[in-house]
A = this chain, B = another copy of it.
């Protein structure tokens, strides 16, 4: 993401309407007649050689990822997925069998999360495979979780191990829809996002005004594939595409997720403060300031 462009765009879009539609959050929120039936929408495209590699990944894996990244945005709002549309831009040389395999990857995951594919577009060109999906979801207004909900003193949690997603997790991950819905029901949960650009960058997106955060190195869960590396903590802080949920919770509240599928993988990794910075309490006790810029994928 190019922050200058996003700032410019937000200004343009805010001129278009007086309503706050959640631009800059994981999904846009559509104004609705009823507070009990809010609709959210999000769009994400994935492109060969940027988000996947057709020399390594199967068409079904690519289809899975294309929908999974969109479902992850729905999870990050605490919403329930409903409908999606799929726009495929296929290389000229791709046989129809490959296109079908890709689509089956989408449909398998759609079935798992009861998301109905209701339309699409299909084009061929001389360039790279591109899969663009737009997803709709439902929520009640009291349950929706915005990034801006973060409060001073909140505990910071992450839903699973971080870092090294590039070694396979990024293509095969399961979106955290069930956890998102459970968090949505809980008023003590103040803000949710999914980790796409990296822990530090996405944590920064939860911090408005003078809010800051302190992370504890020893508490940050590391993915197995990187856990033994000397730069493991750097990977966990800055690698992108973890697609775990990052959320903040009122400090007095005790999380109890007995009903979720993966309760034991949730970790408290830090605390929201008013420093305006993100710092890390390293394993050796030293406190380091972390750059909010991170790395682009």
- A-side interface residues toward B, CB under 8 Å? 1-2, 4-6, 8-9, 12-13, 16-17, 19, 21-23, 27-28, 30, 33, 37, 41-45, 47-51, 83, 85-87, 89, 96, 99-100, 103-104, 107, 110-111, 116-128, 130, 132, 134, 136
Chain B residue at smallest Cβ distance from A21: B118
Contact A132 B96 (CB under 8 A): no
Query: How far is it, in angstroms, between the C-alpha of A136 and the C-alpha of B50 when the chains are bound?
Result: 28
A125 and B41 form a contact (CB under 8 A): no
Pick from B21, B103, B132: contact of A9, CB below 8 A.
Answer: B103
Q: Are B89 and A45 in contact (CB under 8 A)?
A: yes
Contact, CB under 8 Å: B100 / A134 = no
Closest to A26 in B: B119
- Would you list 14 pairs from A and B whose C-beta atoms are within 8 A, ordered by A residue? A6-B122, A9-B103, A12-B107, A13-B117, A16-B107, A16-B110, A33-B37, A43-B120, A44-B87, A45-B121, A47-B89, A47-B123, A89-B130, A134-B134
In the complex, A79→B134 CA distance in Å?
20
Partner of A100, one of B8, B110, B125: B8
Q: Is the CB of A119 within 8 A of B12?
A: no
- Say which residue of B2, B12, B123 sits within 8 Å of A122 (CB atoms): B2
